[in-house]
Amino acid sequence: MQEEWTPQQWPPQNPPPAPQPDVQPKPWQDAQPAPQTGPQPEPWQDAQPAPQPGLPPEPWQTPPAPQPGLPPEPWQTPPAFLPFGRACSRVGWAFAVLMLLFTLGQLLFVWAFRRLLPGQLSVTLELWLCNDLALYGLGAPACWLLLRGLPRRLPPPCRPARYARMTLPWAGRLFCLGELCMIAGSLAGQGLMRIISYWAGAQGAGNPVAAALDGASVFTIFVFCVLVAPVGEELLFRGLLFRCLAPFGERAYILVSAALFSAFHGNFYQIPGAFLVGLLLAWLRCRTGRLRWGMLLHAAINFCGAVMPYLIAASDTLAGLWVLALLGFCIAGGVYLFRMRPARQLRAMPPLPGRPGAALLNPGMLAAALLSAVLLAANTLGSIGVLL
């Protein structure tokens, strides 16, 4: 007997799929992280860029060519390119303008304060205010205006595929390394000034940093050294200069920023330490990609060097303990520096584009060096009593 057809029976339903054998999940389907064995890499070792294979772009990724007779669209115009030497020269001219306006602004604000507010402020507080007003009110804005239109290359090769994450142990090691750089640089600066004083026939050299801190209160030192200086200097040397020089690689930025940061301080007592700390802070900026960690490290170094001597001055026991603590910081920083192997770090960075001398031997940098040398000579002669 033939079975009667009904519409519900057509089209025939597909048979259920046959049961599949157990298949192990793919590695990319497994959401659980695999257990890691062996020593964990340091945060600065995790910031190396991952190799990217060169793949041709898809057709939809290739922008259409501009039509003849029509102006090109803005996105069709290639990014402006400035050679490395010319970019460094622009940075040098901007720094020279900053130093010139900073020096002239100091004289202007000191005259204005003493003319408008005679005897209202202490001499030390007046000098601190004049220095910061001249730097952040005149010099830094002019430097920013000169560098804001600096053409850049994209993408910057010093930007790693993944920045290093700050951890508490790494922060402690960086602090010890910063103290080592600061103390070693301070000892080198004092020795250099003793040699200059002996060569000039002077009895001794006055330390302008100690003179500036001598008559100030602890609160004034904390505000200007621990709060204002780290924020302003990091924005200038590790913020603005990073955006201008990072497209040419880590080595170019670290070298130029550390040189300018040391010349910015303007006295032999601070130049060696500022150069070493500038190298560390610039390297930290490249490894983490953030300004806040450099600001915190800079503030911690300034706190230990400017505020702590006043807090422990009343007790010989605290002073002795603090000396032992500094010795321990230096030893720990030396061990960490040996583990980092700076030579290997330097070789891993992209090389300087062109000749190495192109970073500093250009008109702008030579002008900045000449102006810095004149100001440094004036400060040095004034500190040993030759120029008053």
Output the pLDDT for position 96.
94
Regarding pTM above 0.95, the answer is: no
Output the pLDDT for position 328.
94
CA distances in angstroms from 75 to 71, 93, 255, 294, listed in the order given: 12, 31, 33, 35
Output the pLDDT for position 388.
45
Output the pLDDT for position 67.
59
DSSP-derived letter for residue 31 is -
State which residues of the chain have pLDDT below 70.
Answer: 1-82, 151-162, 200-206, 350-356, 384-388
Task: Look at phi and psi of residue 267 and say left if phi exceeds 0, alpha if psi is from -120 to 50, else beta.
Answer: beta
Output the pLDDT for position 174.
94
Mean pLDDT taken over the chain: 78
Output the pLDDT for position 315.
84
Q: What is the share, in percent, of the chain residues with pLDDT greater than 90?
A: 31
DSSP-derived letter for residue 236 is I
Give the integer Cα–Cα distance in Å for 32 and 290. Answer: 30
Give the integer Cα–Cα distance in Å for 387 and 385. Answer: 6
CA angle 68, 73, 77 (to 5 degrees): 95
